[in-house]
């Protein structure tokens, strides 16, 4: 158990719909990263939030957006869903102090999204 | 090519040692990680090694790093059926806010 929780565990949507996934960080962690893991692949970095601001972004289109709240929990929003968005979405929390981000990320169990 | 490469499958007998190999391309990698993912679950950090180290041992796990060849390995001693999972190698660099880049994972199958 890492202390990182995600909801929902599973979700089915249709093409064109919008989805919001949620993540609660491990206690004491102020940085949240989101990853997409397609079947048979390693996790791909979507973006990272630190102190409620985006702190880095991977190669994902703008329809992938996020939020981080004052309590450091986070949301991932995906608009105009496509079939290829079907994947396991993982959230990871870590601790950053000043300009230095601690090296260890702790992952939640993920939300499995199926787009039909 | 991929930044982090791993073989896709490894099959071992229970009680034997498993060695999972990984190669990476970024010579400025600062940290190298091994994560374990069981079916339907998220990633569990098993261990990590700083790039200025050659070896790290933690109970049944031994990590070896060859910086010259950019090769990382994970040895699991006395492999058990509960070790069956997908193992991901990942690298990160200080300038990249420590965001890890993952390989595709090695599926370890342990049979009796």
Q: Which two tokens stand for residue A42?
A: 């390693």
User: Which residue bears the tokens 């200080």?
Assistant: B94
Summary mean pLDDT of chain A: 91
Q: Please give the pLDDT value at position B28.
A: 76
A92 neighbourhood in chain B, CB within 8 Å: 43
Question: pLDDT tens, B27-85?
Answer: 777 789 999 999 878 899 899 888 888 999 999 999 999 999 999 999 999 999 999 99
Answer yes or no: is pLDDT of A56 > 90.
no
B18-21 contacts at long range (C-beta below 8 A, 24 or more positions apart): B18/B74, B18/B75, B18/B76, B18/B79, B18/B83, B18/B108, B18/B110, B19/B73, B19/B74, B19/B75, B19/B76, B20/B73, B20/B74, B20/B75, B20/B76, B20/B87, B20/B89, B20/B106, B20/B108, B21/B71, B21/B72, B21/B73
Q: What is the mean pLDDT of residues A66-95?
A: 94
Answer yes or no: is pLDDT of A98 > 90.
no
Q: Name the band, by pLDDT with cuts 50, 70 and 90, for residue B95.
A: low
> Which one, of B74, A26, A85, lies nearest residue A6 by Cα?
A26
CB nearest B99 (choices: A33, A42, A102): A33
Higher local confidence (pLDDT), B51 or A23: A23
Answer yes or no: is pLDDT of A100 > 60.
no
Answer yes or no: is pLDDT of A97 > 80.
no
A44 neighbourhood in chain B, CB within 8 Å: 102
Q: Please give the pLDDT value at position A103.
A: 58
Interface of A with B (CB under 8 A): 2, 4, 6, 33, 40-45, 48, 55-56, 90, 92, 94, 101-110
């Amino acid at each position: 158990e890492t202390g990182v929780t995600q909801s929902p565990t599973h979700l089915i949507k249709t093409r064109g719909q919008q989805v919001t996934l949620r993540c609660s960080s491990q206690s004491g962690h102020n940085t949240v990263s989101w990853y997409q893991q397609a079947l048979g692949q390693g996790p791909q970095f979507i973006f990272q939030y630190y102190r409620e601001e985006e702190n880095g972004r991977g190669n994902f289109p703008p329809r992938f957006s996020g939020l981080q709240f004052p309590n450091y929990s986070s949301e991932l929003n995906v608009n105009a869903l496509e079939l290829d968005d079907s994947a396991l979405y993982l959230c990871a929390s870590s601790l950053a102090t000043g300009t230095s981000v601690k090296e260890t990320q702790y992952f939640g169990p993920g939300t499995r999204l199926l787009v039909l | 090519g991929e930044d982090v490469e791993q073989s896709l499958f490894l099959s071992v007998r229970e009680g034997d040692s498993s060695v999972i190999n990984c190669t990476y391309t970024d010579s400025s990698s600062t940290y190298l990680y091994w994560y374990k993912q069981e079916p339907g679950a998220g990633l569990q950090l098993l261990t990590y090694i700083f790039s200025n180290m050659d070896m790290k041992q933690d109970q049944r796990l031994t990590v070896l790093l060859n910086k010259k060849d950019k090769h990382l390995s994970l040895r699991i001693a006395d492999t058990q059926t509960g070790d069956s999972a997908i193992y991901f190698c990942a690298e990160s660099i200080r300038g990249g806010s420590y965001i890890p880049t993952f390989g595709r994972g090695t599926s370890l199958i342990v049979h009796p």
